[in-house]
C-alpha cells in the first residue's frame, strides 16, 4: 500500500521533470578542462543529489609508454618511459604498455634523478627522470641542452626558466674542463654526472632513486624529507672523458662519490678547480627546482617561492676571467624585470661577476613577486578529453520530443490508473468503492 502511495505522489514530479528534459540531448564534446562544472539543466535543483546524474564524468585519456606529453606554459617535453598496473607495487617484469589518465595534477610526481653533461666549447645538457604515482605508478624523462633551452627561454611563461638559463651559462663558461686533471695527468674533455636528490644522503637504501620505485618507502609520495631545508644531491655515477679520440673512441674513467651529499669524488682521485662544486651545486638546484615548479610541486624548500631558500640553495660564485660580458643574448643577462629599479642590469651583471651572484643579490632585495604566476597553479598535461554535456535540441526536434514525452506520460498515467483500480477491486473493502467508481465512469462514457 505504501509503495502505491509513493508511486502516486512521485508521478507528478516525474512528469514535471521528464517532459521538459526530453527537449535536451546528451552529446560528447572535446574539452581540455574536463573537471569544469557542466551547465545546470532546467529543473535540476528539484532532483535529489543522490538521484542526479551530472555531466561531469569524462572519458579518460589513454597514455601509451613512449608518448610525449607537454604542460601548458612549460618549456619541457615529458616522455613516458615506464608504467605499472594500478593497485600493485612497482616491480621488475610487471610493466604495462598503457594506462588511463584522468586529468590528474602532476603535483603527484617528483624528480628521481638528474643527469648533467658538460663538454668543451661551453656545451651543457641535462636530463631527468620523473616518478609519478597517480593514477598509477609511471615514470617520465625529459632532456634539454643549452641551445634548445635558449630557444624556449624567449617568451617562456614560466619566468623562473630565465634563472636556469643564466645559471647554466655560469656553469658552461665558468667550468673549464681543461682544469680538471685526472691522476694520469690527462685533462678532461667531458664530464657526466648522475645524481639523486636527498636530505641526509647517507643511507642510499632509504633515499636512493634506485630503491624508491620498488619499495613502499614514502620518500617520494610525501616528497623529500627535507621539505623545509636545502635539498642535497648525491652522485651515483661520475664519468670523466679525457684525451684525443682514437678511431672515434675516447678514453673514460668512472669515479664514485662518498655518501653525504657529494657531487664529485675526493680531490685525491680527481683534481678540480675550487669553484667546480658550487657551480655544479647551483646547476642541480636550478634544474631540480625548475622541474618541480613545472610539475606544480611547491614545498617549503622551493627556491622560487622563498628568497631565503633561494640564497641558501644558490651559492655565490665568481668567474670574472671567463665571463663573456659582450654576449648579446638578453636571456642570459641578469634580467629580473621590475626588480632592478633605477639600476642598469648589464652593469650589475659586470659588478657581480656571475649570474648567480647577481640573481642572489636581487632576490634578497625582493619579495619574489615575479614568480607569483608560476606558483600554486594546477599543472596537467595539455590533452583533450571527451565529456558528456547537455545541449538543447533544434526547435522542431525539441517540440516533437516534448509531444512524444507528454503522450507517453499520459499513457503511463492511464496504465497506472488501471493498475490501481484493479488492485482496489480485488480487495473486499474496495469492492463497493470499485462498483461505484465503475458506475461513474460508465455514466461519464454514456
Q: What is the pLDDT along the chain (446 residues), one digit of tens a residue?
A: 445 544 554 555 555 555 666 666 666 666 666 666 555 565 566 555 655 555 457 778 888 999 998 887 777 889 999 888 876 666 666 788 889 888 888 888 888 889 999 887 568 889 999 988 888 888 999 988 766 777 766 666 666 777 788 888 888 877 877 777 776 777 778 889 998 888 777 765 555 444 444 443 334 444 555 767 888 888 888 888 877 766 556 677 888 777 777 888 877 677 777 888 888 999 999 999 989 888 888 888 888 888 788 888 888 887 755 444 444 444 445 554 444 433 444 444 455 567 787 777 776 665 555 566 666 667 888 776 677 777 767 666 666 666 566 656 666 666 666 666 666 666 555 555 565 555 555 555 45
- To the nearest 10°, report the CA torsion of 162, 167, 172, 175: 170
Helices (H) and strands (E) in the chain, counts: 10, 14
DSSP at 179: G
Q: What is the pLDDT of residue 416?
A: 66
* Sequence spans of domains, the chain: 2-56+385-427, 62-371
Peptide bond connecting 135 to the previous residue in cis, omega within 30 degrees of 0:
yes
Q: In this structure, are residues 74 and 164 in contact, taking their beta carbons and an 8 Å threshold?
A: no
Give the pLDDT of residue 344.
43
pLDDT given at position 114 = 92
| Spatial separation of the C-alpha atoms in residues 12 and 293, rounded to whole Å | 55
Distance CA 403, CA 409 (A): 10
Nine cell digits for residue 311: 640564497
Residue among 190, 188, 199, 215 nearest 115 (CA): 190
| Residues 6 or more apart whose Cβ sits within 8 Å of residue 393 | 23, 24, 25, 401
Cα-Cα-Cα-Cα torsion 104, 107, 111, 112, nearest 10 degrees, comes to -60
- Does this model's pTM top 0.95? My answer is no
Instruction: Give the total residue count for the chain.
Output: 446
Cα–Cα distance for residue pair 403/205, rounded to 1 Å: 71
282 and 159 Cβ atoms separated by less than 8 Å: no
What is the per-residue pLDDT for 142? 92
From the number of C-beta atoms within 10 Å of its C-beta (0-12, 13-18, 19+), residue 389 rates as middle
Look up residue 333 and give its DSSP letter. S
Do residues 145 and 137 touch, judged by C-beta distance below 8 A?
A: no
Q: Residue 40 carries which DSSP code? A: P
What is the model's pLDDT at position 275? Answer: 81
Give the pLDDT of residue 91: 63
Pick the closest to residue 124 from 191, 195, 212, 27 (CA basis).
Answer: 191
Amino acid at each position: 500500500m505504501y509503495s502505491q502511495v509513493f508511486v502516486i505522489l512521485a508521478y507528478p514530479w516525474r512528469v514535471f521533470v521528464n517532459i521538459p528534459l526530453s527537449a535536451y540531448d546528451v552529446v560528447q564534446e572535446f574539452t581540455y578542462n574536463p573537471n569544469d562544472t557542466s551547465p545546470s539543466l532546467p529543473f535540476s535543483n528539484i532532483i535529489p543529489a543522490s538521484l542526479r546524474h551530472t555531466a561531469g564524468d569524462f572519458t579518460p585519456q589513454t597514455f601509451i609508454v613512449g608518448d610525449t606529453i607537454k604542460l601548458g606554459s612549460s618549456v619541457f617535453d615529458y616522455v613516458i618511459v615506464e608504467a605499472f598496473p594500478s593497485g600493485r607495487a612497482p616491480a621488475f617484469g610487471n610493466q604495462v604498455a598503457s594506462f588511463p589518465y584522468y586529468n590528474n595534477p602532476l603535483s603527484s610526481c617528483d624528480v628521481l634523478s638528474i643527469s648533467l653533461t658538460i663538454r668543451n666549447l661551453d656545451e651543457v645538457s641535462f636530463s631527468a627522470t620523473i616518478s609519478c604515482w597517480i593514477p598509477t605508478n609511471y615514470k617520465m624523462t625529459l632532456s634539454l641542452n643549452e641551445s634548445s633551452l635558449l630557444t624556449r627561454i624567449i617568451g617562456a611563461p614560466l619566468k623562473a626558466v630565465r634563472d636556469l638559463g643564466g645559471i647554466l651559462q655560469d656553469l658552461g663558461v665558468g667550468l673549464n674542463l681543461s682544469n680538471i686533471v685526472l691522476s694520469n695527468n690527462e685533462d678532461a674533455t667531458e664530464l657526466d654526472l648522475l645524481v639523486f636528490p636527498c636530505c641526509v644522503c647517507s643511507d642510499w637504501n632509504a633515499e636512493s632513486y634506485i630503491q624508491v620505485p620498488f619499495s613502499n618507502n614514502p620518500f617520494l609520495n610525501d616528497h623529500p624529507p627535507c621539505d623545509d631545508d636545502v635539498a642535497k644531491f648525491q652522485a651515483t655515477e661520475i664519468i670523466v672523458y679525457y684525451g684525443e679520440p682514437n678511431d672515434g673512441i675516447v678514453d673514460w674513467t668512472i669515479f664514485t662519490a662518498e655518501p653525504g651529499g657529494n657531487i664529485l669524488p675526493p680531490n685525491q682521485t680527481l683534481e678540480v678547480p675550487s669553484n667546480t662544486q658550487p657551480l655544479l651545486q647551483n646547476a642541480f638546484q636550478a634544474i631540480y627546482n625548475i622541474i618541480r615548479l613545472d610539475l606544480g610541486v611547491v614545498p617549503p624548500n622551493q627556491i622560487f617561492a622563498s628568497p631565503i631558500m633561494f640564497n641558501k640553495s644558490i651559492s655565490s660564485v665568481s668567474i670574472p676571467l671567463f665571463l663573456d660580458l659582450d654576449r648579446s643574448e638578453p636571456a642570459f643577462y641578469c634580467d629580473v624585470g621590475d626588480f632592478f629599479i633605477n639600476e642598469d642590469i648589464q652593469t650589475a651583471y659586470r659588478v657581480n661577476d656571475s649570474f648567480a651572484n647577481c640573481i642572489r643579490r636581487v632576490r634578497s632585495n625582493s619579495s619574489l613577486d615575479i614568480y607569483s604566476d608560476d606558483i600554486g597553479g594546477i599543472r596537467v598535461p595539455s590533452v583533450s578529453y571527451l565529456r558528456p554535456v547537455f545541449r538543447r535540441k533544434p526547435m522542431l526536434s525539441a517540440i516533437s520530443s516534448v509531444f512524444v514525452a507528454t503522450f507517453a506520460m499520459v499513457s503511463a498515467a492511464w496504465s497506472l490508473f488501471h493498475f490501481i483500480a484493479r488492485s482496489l477491486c480485488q480487495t473486499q473493502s474496495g469492492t463497493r468503492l470499485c462498483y461505484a467508481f465503475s458506475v461513474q465512469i460508465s455514466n461519464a462514457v454514456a
